[in-house]
Amino acid sequence: MPASVPQFVQRRSVEFHETDAAGLVHFTNLFRWMEGTELSFLQEREVPVLAVEAVKNSGWPRAAVHAQFLGPLRFGDTIETRLWVKKIGGSSLTYRFEIWRVKGRGAPNLAATGEITSVHVTRVKGKLRAAPLPASIRKKLK
């Protein structure tokens, strides 16, 4: 269970193009919203996304992703994507997300949950290899 106060919150409105023929949010948007919140979280902490310090050709590919709908989201709803850093490994990060409908039809409710595990990598001889997470980055993520 995440801490009661998220480490980062991003608020936005559900756009028309994010819904399906039934008028509900298409599941793929959960992943977009989680990734967008992760990116904003990293940018706010000045954590480079494509190049970490002196490590050239580095990045954060996904090792695992998961999302679960708990309630409907519709065009015009205001949502909050809440982020917690669940685990910091030797070269990986696991985030926990909650997506809340905070304004729209019905009372505010938890509409979805999810997790993303990213691995810090560098390119060695054309191949991606897991790379240790620098101490300076670890500090910014806590």
**Catalytic site positions:** 20
- Are 122 and 57 in contact by the 8 Å Cβ rule? The answer is yes
Q: What is the per-residue pLDDT across 36-55, written as a single tens digit (0 to 9) for each?
A: 999 999 999 998 887 655 55
Residues of the chain scoring pLDDT < 50: 1
Which residues contact residue 56 at a Cβ distance below 8 angstroms, ignoring those fewer than 6 apart?
122, 123
* pLDDT for position 56: 64
Q: What is the per-residue pLDDT across 75-88, written as a single tens digit (0 to 9) for each?
A: 999 999 999 999 99
Kindly provide the b/e burial profile for residues 23-47, where b requires at least 16 CB atoms within 10 angstroms of the residue's own CB: eebeeebbbebbbebbeebbeeeeb
* pLDDT for position 66: 98
Q: How far apart are CA 4 and CA 84, in angstroms?
A: 10
Residue 26 tokens, joined: 């298409």
Could you please report the per-residue DSSP string of 69-132?
A: E-S--BTT-EEEEEEEEEEE-SSEEEEEEEEEEEESSSS-EEEEEEEEEEE-EEEETTEEEE-P
* pLDDT for position 88: 96
* pLDDT for position 2: 52
